[in-house]
Structure 1
């Protein structure tokens, strides 16, 4: 089986970066070490001010990678917009492999993804497993957390949004067909959080998603001292999402996959669960912040997809809290 990039119609790697000069070269080196080389790498600099361009150009001259390295600079617009720019620049390649500017691929990453999609001509995406590693600013490994695919995921028995009930989107470990990314609308820049989750939910309704166990991608988290601003671009040790984005996420997910709620297509499995969860979590956020009337409305939306769920009870509870709080305060 020919699993070369040419046989697949071309592979482009898209890397968004913002002030990651201290990490980006490790990511590029992990691409240069791939046993299957991509056709091109598109690095979208999202307004960096730390000399990223100079560092990348010096690496390119000294390393002379086998792939075409395209450097694109844009004003800061966020990672979703940067990835979308990279996807647009990837014209001519059938597949887009996503990598973040602080993460590292195993040398067999692209080869394994290519083999998987070559074995399934209908595949729209493929992902390897991932290991999240937390480092101190001086490079000491503090702890790690693996993201391992279950046998049901590997076998393909779990399809569509149903597959995300057990493990979330692993963006930097995933390769997606470019035409599918464009059809799905790319990364929604209206979201400040979970734009990758929204896109992946939509993509999952479009066809088979291959998941390959073993040889995980290294997802690096640099844990900052709160009093040290040296690495403004580094991620912190926190699992708390941007809470307000849950409201927008629920609405956008409804727009993206709501029409499939009653579909019997095997790749629409889990659509009702995904919509229920999105509306329910948004309602919980509103309830916790004292917006009881709004919360009740979101719980009602959740209950449309799982009528016997706890959303019904929380809806009534939120209404009781709203009545108790009165109409002049935070219950609006």
Structure 2
């Protein structure tokens, strides 16, 4: 099995190399690591060249790609395009860390079936500045990935091994600007519909915050609206749902649009706030059920 690890990065030279070290020091190394510099202006290319000159041979081949700043989705897709025939892809954000046996444990479980869409570790959420941490058991997510992501989002890409064939079938991450605050969410929701997801017990990966770098969604004052649109797109792609499952997703969508309305209201966007609340109410009123009753 050919495994490619991909780290997209933008202006994070101070923390990038701890992430890289967590990849190259795996008990079972990836066949290749691709570091995609998305147009950094902090001298990262030279820092990387200096680091590579000093590193010992770990058995992991590394490719460094420098490209104009185009966003995380384009950077991740550049890594995929560099090795388009990989059996498995593992994406690691520059502020996260893998445990030493991440790939070994994942590959041991997925080696028995090529039909598995993804394998995910538990997550340790650590806030470096506040010196707090908690472990998130991801077995609930792997039991029903779409419901879990509708409720809690998709902040677990860094702790997952993804089926290469399915990644290519989905054409990688959406690069349209409308997905800028949720391209990983949209991609993982669609991946969840493509095959089973398995939980990998053992040491968690580290999801780090408080490192002095803003999270992507913090750059958007309408992030909840953007996420609600993504959830709605995925909901409209779903087929063969029983009534109880359909009701569950509609209830979550109602909450998501209400959150979007609240965010718009806080930023004094009255028209958008009203529209979001209307969309929330449309799900609460069970429009699908009413339409079905009319047709009957």
TM-score scaled by length of structure 2: 0.81
5 Å-filtered alignment, 1:108-119, equals: 108-119=101-112
The answer as to whether partners of 1:161 and 1:269 remain within 8 angstroms in 2 is: no
- Deviation at 1:12? 0.6
Among 96, 100, 105, the alignment partner of 1:107 is 100
Match of 2:291 in 1: none
**In 1, Cα distance between equivalents of 2:20 and 2:122:** 19
Among 240, 265, 269, the alignment partner of 1:287 is 265
What secondary structure, in the 3-state scheme, does the structure 2 residue paired with 1:34 have? coil
Gap regions ≥5 residues in structure 1 = 1-5, 137-141, 225-233, 309-332
The answer as to whether partners of 2:174 and 2:187 remain within 8 angstroms in 1 is: yes
**In 2, Cα distance between equivalents of 1:41 and 1:243:** 34
Aligned length: 283
**In 2, Cα distance between equivalents of 1:246 and 1:77:** 22
RMSD: 3.2
**In 1, Cα distance between equivalents of 2:256 and 2:56:** 45
The answer as to whether partners of 2:85 and 2:164 remain within 8 angstroms in 1 is: no
Match of 1:144 in 2: 132
Instruction: Return closer, same or farther for 1:268/1:124 CA change in 2, 3 Å cut-off.
Output: farther
Q: Which runs of 4+ in 1 moved over 6 A?
A: none
What secondary structure, in the 3-state scheme, does the structure 2 residue paired with 1:15 have? strand
| Deviation sequence 1:218-268 (CA, Å, 0-9, x none) | 2233444xxxxxxxxx347x9967331332332343334413166359x99
Instruction: Return closer, same or farther for 1:37/1:148 CA change in 2, 3 Å cut-off.
Output: same
- Deviation at 1:210? 1.4
Q: Are 1:301 and 2:287 matched, yes or no?
A: no
Match of 1:75 in 2: 68
Match of 2:290 in 1: none
TM-score scaled by length of structure 1: 0.73
What secondary structure, in the 3-state scheme, does the structure 2 residue paired with 1:63 have? coil
Among 157, 160, 169, the alignment partner of 1:174 is 160
Match of 2:191 in 1: 203
What secondary structure, in the 3-state scheme, does the structure 2 residue paired with 1:254 have? helix
| Deviation sequence 1:73-114 (CA, Å, 0-9, x none) | 101122222112112222120211010123221111111121
Gap regions ≥5 residues in structure 2 = 287-296
- Name which one, 1 or 2, has greater alpha-carbon Rg: 1
Q: Are 1:16 and 2:8 matched, yes or no?
A: yes
Instruction: Return closer, same or farther for 1:185/1:255 CA change in 2, 3 Å cut-off.
Output: farther
Match of 2:38 in 1: 46
| Structure with more of its chain in helix, by fraction | 2
Instruction: Return closer, same or farther for 1:282/1:76 CA change in 2, 3 Å cut-off.
Output: same
